[in-house]
A = this chain, B = another copy of it.
Amino acid sequence: MRSGELTGGTEVEPGGAADRAQDRVRERDGGPGRLTVVGLGPGSADLLAPMALECLVRAGAVVGYDRYMDLVDPKLLAGKTLFSSPMKKEMERTAKAVDFALSGLDTVVVSSGDSGVYGMAGLVLEYLEREGLLHAVELDIVPGIPALCAAAALLGAPLMHDFCAVSLSDLLTPLPLIMRRVRCAAEGDFVIALYNPKSRKRGSYLAKALEMIAAQRGPDTPVGFVRNAYRPDQEVRTATLGSCDPEWADMLTTVIVGNSATRLVNGKMLTPRGYYEKYGRENDGN
């Protein structure tokens, strides 16, 4: 890695601290640094796992999508080699992170939520495979709280029974496959978490998906919209498929649709798991 190198992203190398960190790693064993893909969770520091924090603390380099780098405490990034770039530059960030690790830096790639759920873990593993580097760099993956769990906690308890996650982004997935999955999820009476419900180019996919589910479950099915969970501008709304407006969602929103048993309780979504049906109150210990 050369100081000041810029390849479409933003690279900051303050005061040679990273070089010193790199030298330290090289002195230690002369080999590559560790490569770790870390889920930041929703973004709030109090939902960041200590294991993820520890990885960030010990890292010599941190790589991520620019919006997600902003979720990391700047104090954690000070003195480290940083590389961030916009959406759709995932391949570039992956190559950069692997370069950093090969050069001896302990390197962390950050994702929001869980790095294994529509995150960076898969691309990093695939890159190592395709470049013949599986044995050259040790890859660790640290799990985090995924967006669907963060959204669910704010909505009540919508995920208490079998559920699916479907991304409505057709950037990498053909639309017919996306809609087939929505149909199968509706037929299976799964609770459905919709990721990437909207972007400028995909105005109508969410409305179409919600219509397909409503056709199966009816307009009274509860639905929740959570935007920026556990971040300062968090927004939480519940409604029904018949009364919601797909325009409530943007690209930072997770949408959760209840199954046929989900109901709204005091403005919260509740998907009962069947304890009352099975046990009544015979077993409640009072």
Q: Which residue of B lies closest to A119 (CB)?
A: B160
Would you call A125 and B91 a contact (CB within 8 A)? no
Would you call B285 and A149 a contact (CB within 8 A)? no
A205 within 8 A of B: no
Q: Which residues of A contact B (CB under 8 A)?
A: 7-9, 39, 41-42, 44-51, 54, 85, 88-96, 114-119, 121-126, 129-130, 134-135, 141-146, 149-150, 152-154, 156-167, 171-173, 177-178, 180-181, 183-185, 187-190, 265-266, 268, 270-279, 281, 283-286
A157: B residues at CB distance < 8 A: 116, 121-122, 124-126, 141
Asked if A152 meets B163 with Cβ closer than 8 Å, knowing A48-B49, A172-B273, A283-B92, the reply is no
Asked if A284 meets B116 with Cβ closer than 8 Å, knowing A143-B149, A190-B184, the reply is no
Known contacts A89-B285, A124-B157, A125-B156, then 5 further A-B pairs from the complex at CB < 8 Å, ordered by chain A residue: A116-B152, A163-B164, A172-B275, A180-B189, A185-B188
A49: B residues at CB distance < 8 A: 41, 46-49, 145
